[in-house]
Structure 1
Amino acid sequence: MPAVGAAILFFIAFLVNAAEISTNDAFTSVNLMLLGLTALALHLAGVGGGWSVRGRRR
């Protein structure tokens, strides 16, 4: 799931950069790319990887 969020953040950062939209300091394309890289790193680390079965079968 974090990989999907990363892809969305990268796409928004691309649109901001390609359209040369002037934004405030907190919403720049570089900051969006860094948030995307953080989400991608969390995905590769296994955070939000899916379901895990933690029960015993009898």
Structure 2
Amino acid sequence: MLGIAAAVLFFIAFLINAAEIGTNDTFTSVNVMLLGLTVLALHVAGIGSGWAARTRRR
């Protein structure tokens, strides 16, 4: 799930950069790209990957 969110953030950063959209200092393409990298790092670390099924051993 976080991998999809990272892809969306990278796409938004690409659109801001490619279309040369004027944004304020907080919402620049570099900042959105860094947010995407953070979300991608969380995804790779295994956070947000969903619940693991517990198995019972008897």
1:48 is displaced (CA, Å) by 1.0
Percent identity of paired positions between Structure 1 and Structure 2: 72
1:25 is displaced (CA, Å) by 0.6
For these two proteins, the number of residue pairs brought into alignment is: 58
| Mapping 1:1-58, distance limit 5 Å | 1-54=1-54, 56=56
Q: Give the unaligned 5+ runs of structure 2.
A: none
TM-score (norm: length of structure 2): 0.89
- Pairwise CA RMSD of aligned residues? 1.4
Which residue identity lines up with residue 34 of structure 1 in the other structure?
L
